[in-house]
Amino acid sequence: MFGTLKPQAPDKILALMGEFRADPRQGKIDLGVGVYKDPTGLTPVMRAVKEAERRIWEAETTKSYTALSGEPAYLEALSAMVLGGVRDSARTAMLSTVGGTGAIRQAFEMARMGNPDVTVHVSDPTWPNHVSMLKFMGLPFVEYRYFDGATRGVDFEGMKADLARAKKGDLVLLHGCCHNPTGANLTLEQWAEVVAILERTGAVPLVDLAYQGFGDGLDEDAAGTRLVVSSLPDALVAASCSKNFGIYRERAGLLMVQVADPAQKDLAQGALAFLGRQTYSFPPDHGARIVQTILEDGALAADWRAELEQVRLGMLSLRQQLAAELRSLTGSDRFDFIERHRGMFSRLGATPEQVQKIKDDNAIYLVGDSRLNIAGLNRDSVPVLARAIVEAGV
Ligand code: LMR
């Protein structure tokens, strides 16, 4: 049976995690995988999460299955957080998913069920696993220009020109905020222009919102997503709770499918439940229950928001420190884009050789495309990284 198995190409982010663990050097710095770390290098359990878990443990009387599409109260609470006032319940089918990745995967499945001829449009670059999943599923995809290597901002003219080529019923994958891997994001005015292109072409957006609260704030980071959803008839949104609730291993996510006509909602809901059943049957509940418990309780939600805000501001201040350090080392403002980027990541624009040199000489681990995880830094390691960047000739 297994004679035809072939080695799989390793996921470069996960491979880097292994390489970092195996490096014996003292003072090594991990700026690879997108996991938040506090200044001491820990990925803490958030206060509200601990408290929610205590309450769940005390009150829980059964481990029987939840609903096939997920606990309605979880779907209600999280969708309200993501979409705010623009959620149209009569037109929105929802599925509790195995993390944000599970939501993306089921979104691709839904797109294929809705349109067997779908082509998926992804940003160049995008999260490598987007592309990997599309290849694995055999779904045709094309890239649209996104990152401007010169300014390290968005190549918006290129993006618009490429998206204008999308066909009716194609799927356009957009990062809701904190673009992974570049850190370069659309302004709200640019989101409006993207919406206009989607209206004109009839292509359907899939917004991947994995870092809500890590960029400019919870509502600010959802503004583009909300504009898309409130302006267009069909839209898909994949949300992750891994980062903003810090519950990575609990795998809590949400897929929302907004249909044009309320009459289509039951069909969409049935398709989502079917997809869940075919992949893993009922969704996991613990992470979802944590999120629901926090969002339904005013005081817990306020504490969670406060801690998340502290995390966000900490990353912003590291960005400012790194940009300032590089300004003083180089006597130029060419690294100021680090301050303008938002979220966990920035793409430095270094060559693979420079990334390798930074790793070899300093035990500092960046993803090969020169993506760095800002949250892997602290006030002491910022100057070390700045020096390494300059010494590598970036
Ligand atoms: C990342 O981009 O580093 C994260 O989304 C973690 C992952 O699964 O790749």
CATH of the domain at 343: 3.90.1150.10
CA atoms within 13 A on the CB side of 347: 26
**Residues present in the chain in total:** 394
ipTM surpasses cut 0.90: yes
Q: Is residue 55 part of a domain?
A: no
- Show which residues are catalytic: 127, 208, 210, 243
Q: Strands 235-240 and 29-30: what pairing?
A: unpaired
Q: Is residue 163 part of a domain?
A: yes
My answer on whether 152 and 222 are in the same domain is yes
My answer on whether 143 and 267 are in the same domain is yes
Indicate which CATH number applies to the domain containing 76: 3.40.640.10
**Of all atoms in ligand 1, which is nearest to the CA of residue 210?**
5
My answer on whether 145 and 235 are in the same domain is yes
Q: Is residue 220 part of a domain?
A: yes
My answer on whether 199 and 229 are in the same domain is yes
How many angstroms separate the alpha carbon of residue 13 from the centre of ligand 1?
7
Q: Is residue 50 part of a domain?
A: no
Cβ atoms within 10 Å, residue 148: 18
How many angstroms separate the alpha carbon of residue 60 from the centre of ligand 1?
32
My answer on whether 172 and 70 are in the same domain is yes
Q: Report the pLDDT value the prediction gives residue 295, as an integer from 0 to 100.
A: 98
Residue 144, amino acid: Y
Closest C-alpha to ligand 1, atom 6: 34
Q: Report the pLDDT value the prediction gives residue 10, as an integer from 0 to 100.
A: 86
Low-confidence residues in the chain, pLDDT < 70: none
pTM beyond 0.90: the answer is yes
How many angstroms separate the alpha carbon of residue 228 from the centre of ligand 1?
24
My answer on whether 186 and 232 are in the same domain is yes
Q: Is residue 381 part of a domain?
A: yes
Q: Report the pLDDT value the prediction gives residue 11, as an integer from 0 to 100.
A: 86
Residue closest to 319 by CA, chosen among 339, 336, 300:
339
How many angstroms separate the alpha carbon of residue 34 from the centre of ligand 1?
5
**Of all atoms in ligand 1, which is nearest to the CA of residue 11?**
9
Q: Report the pLDDT value the prediction gives residue 9, as an integer from 0 to 100.
A: 86
Q: Report the pLDDT value the prediction gives residue 19, as an integer from 0 to 100.
A: 95
**Of all atoms in ligand 1, which is nearest to the CA of residue 129?**
9
Pocket of ligand 1 (CB under 6 A): 13, 33-34, 127, 129, 180
My answer on whether 134 and 21 are in the same domain is no
My answer on whether 129 and 274 are in the same domain is yes
The count of domains in the chain is 2
Q: Is residue 7 part of a domain?
A: no
Among 30, 33, 175, 241, say which to mutate for ligand 1: greatest number of ligand atoms within 8 Å of CB.
33
Q: Report the pLDDT value the prediction gives residue 80, as an integer from 0 to 100.
A: 98
My answer on whether 41 and 78 are in the same domain is no
My answer on whether 275 and 379 are in the same domain is no
How many angstroms separate the alpha carbon of residue 33 from the centre of ligand 1?
6
Q: Is residue 344 part of a domain?
A: yes
The conformation of residue 263, written as its DSSP 8-state character, comes to G
My answer on whether 260 and 370 are in the same domain is no
Closest C-alpha to ligand 1, atom 5: 34
Q: Is residue 1 part of a domain?
A: no
Q: Which two tokens stand for residue 310?
A: 């502290």
Q: Which domain holds residue 235?
A: 65-296
My answer on whether 355 and 312 are in the same domain is yes
